[in-house]
């Protein structure tokens, strides 16, 4: 099944946009570029018919057995969700609408003089399945900049938070408060038709993404700086404005890092905690602000969004114990010491992947280009050469290869963003892209309220009594 899925995804990626969507050269003839909302509206009727056809032909077919171990084991590998933006393959890693990370690094529009993909283009791809033009991406940058300002009461709410309140708690609080101006909540209260749910959901999704840099920047400046924020530049792209709000906008390499970081962290299938939580809460017709605030609370958990912090702490301990340029033998011994103490090697292994995470590879290539002589980067590379062999020898991991978290903290630290508690906020800004895109499609397709069946241990035991 995995092999056939990979083949289908590769085939989809090879098709020209017009072949995949039925949308040909008419767009190129228009003098004014089509907006994202206009294109989304065109795609909805076709996708509704596509889903109807899939259900008519395959609706009664089974994916396979559900085992008791899966019920007790966090539903690992259980096929139970529809998520269109990305599919994770154990061998290849993530594909965004059929495109690998190297694919999108080449295909998506870049900023003038830049080399990394603009996240605006990735959002267009997640929502439509199409690679946008540079003009369409510039239009999206401008629209998000125009929507970026926060209501004054939300600014005051953030400003009144004590600096001791975790940045993720402040982030979730502020996003929840944006519900005050939700277009979907207002339309629903006025009796909007179900077939039109997608319209105000799209507006909320656009507002949500647009306002996240202002929220993140305000939290960062309040907790770690003087609380003073520059204005949003209507002529800058999303990542440039975020970087400026954080105080790093003058460093073009950091801006490029943000473009890459947001793009590769934007979506990772629908089964991870933050993505699934947003979809689940959205299925109750909670607006995108409430849904994504719930996602953020899941992301704040140590087993989901804090992994890159744990990697950095582990590296710092290694550096303190072994020095800045340890030998391979010393690193190998340190890794064995971590394992023998009953701990895991942070940043290694993944619930699904069985190869090196391509998001790790993208960050490694960025580091090789921009910070090849950084001691921390060299240590990360040294661990990459040694840790998988140790983990295989120890039999401690089904996947002994590094994931995305093994690298991101080192890059942020290099450019001066060393406040580790804030790292998950950047992850949250990124993850909004995937969640928001799926919420739009869920409302467009009339997705129902999620309600899986649960069993007690007693019921499971009784169910299989007397059976082999």
Comparing C-alpha atoms, which of 164, 200, 194 is closest to residue 182?
A: 200
99 is catalytic: no
Among candidate residues 267, 350, 407, 442, the one labeled active-site is: 350
Of 338, 267, 274, residue with least CA distance to 306: 274
Contact criterion met (CB below 8 Å) for 105 and 23: no
Report how far residue 167's alpha carbon sits from residue 437's, in angstroms, rounded to the nearest whole number. 25
Q: How far apart are CA 215 and CA 148, in angstroms?
A: 9
Residue tagged active-site, from 166, 181, 304, 370: 304
Residue 268 among the catalytic residues: no
> Active-site residue among 204, 357, 405, 442?
405
405 is catalytic: yes
Catalytic residues, which ones? 304, 350, 405
């Amino acid at each position: 099944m995995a092999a056939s899925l990979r083949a289908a995804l590769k085939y989809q990626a090879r098709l020209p946009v017009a072949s995949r969507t039925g949308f040909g050269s008419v767009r190129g003839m228009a003098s004014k570029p089509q907006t994202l909302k206009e294109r989304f509206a065109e795609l909805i009727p076709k996708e509704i018919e596509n889903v109807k056809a899939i259900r008519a032909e395959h609706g009664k077919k089974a994916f396979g057995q559900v085992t008791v171990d899966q019920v007790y084991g966090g539903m690992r590998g259980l096929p139970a969700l529809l998520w269109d933006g990305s599919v994770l393959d154990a061998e290849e890693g993530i594909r965004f609408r059929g495109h690998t990370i190297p694919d999108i690094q080449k295909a998506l529009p870049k900023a003038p003089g830049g080399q990394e993909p603009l996240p605006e283009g990735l959002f267009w791809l997640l929502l439509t399945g199409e690679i946008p033009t540079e003009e369409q991406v510039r239009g999206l940058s401008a629209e998000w900049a125009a929507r970026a300002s926060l209501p004054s009461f939300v600014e005051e709410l953030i400003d009144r938070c004590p600096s001791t309140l975790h940045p993720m708690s402040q982030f979730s609080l502020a996003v929840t408060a944006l519900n005050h101006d939700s277009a979907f909540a207002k339309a629903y209260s006025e009796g909007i038709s179900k077939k039109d749910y997608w319209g105000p959901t799209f507006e909320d999704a656009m507002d949500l993404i647009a306002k996240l840099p202002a929220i993140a920047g305000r939290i960062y400046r309040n907790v770690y700086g003087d609380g003073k924020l520059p204005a949003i530049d209507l002529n800058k792209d999303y990542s440039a404005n975020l970087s400026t709000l954080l105080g790093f906008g003058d460093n073009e390499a950091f801006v490029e890092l943000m473009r890459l970081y947001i793009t590769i962290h934007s979506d990772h299938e629908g089964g991870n905690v933050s993505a699934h939580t947003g979809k689940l809460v959205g299925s109750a017709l909670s607006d995108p602000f409430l849904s994504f605030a719930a996602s953020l609370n899941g992301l704040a958990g140590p087993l989901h969004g804090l992994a890159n912090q744990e990697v950095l702490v582990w590296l710092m301990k290694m550096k303190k114990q072994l020095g800045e340029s340890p030998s391979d033998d010393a690193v190998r011994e340190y890794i064995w010491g971590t394992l023998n103490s009953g701990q895991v090697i942070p940043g290694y292994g993944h619930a699904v992947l069985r190869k090196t995470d391509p998001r790790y590879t993208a960050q490694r290539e960025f580091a090789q280009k921009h910070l090849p002589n950084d001691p921390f980067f060299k240590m990360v590379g040294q661990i990459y050469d040694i840790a998988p062999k140790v983990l295989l020898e120890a039999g401690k991991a089904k996947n002994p290869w590094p994931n995305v978290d093994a690298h991101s903290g080192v890059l942020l630290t290099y450019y001066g963003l060393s406040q580790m508690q804030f790292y998950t906020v950047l992850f949250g800004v990124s993850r909004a892209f995937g969640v928001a895109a799926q919420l739009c499609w869920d409302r467009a397709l009339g997705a129902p309220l999620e309600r899986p069946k649960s069993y007690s241990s007693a019921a499971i035991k009784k169910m299989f009594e007397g059976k082999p």
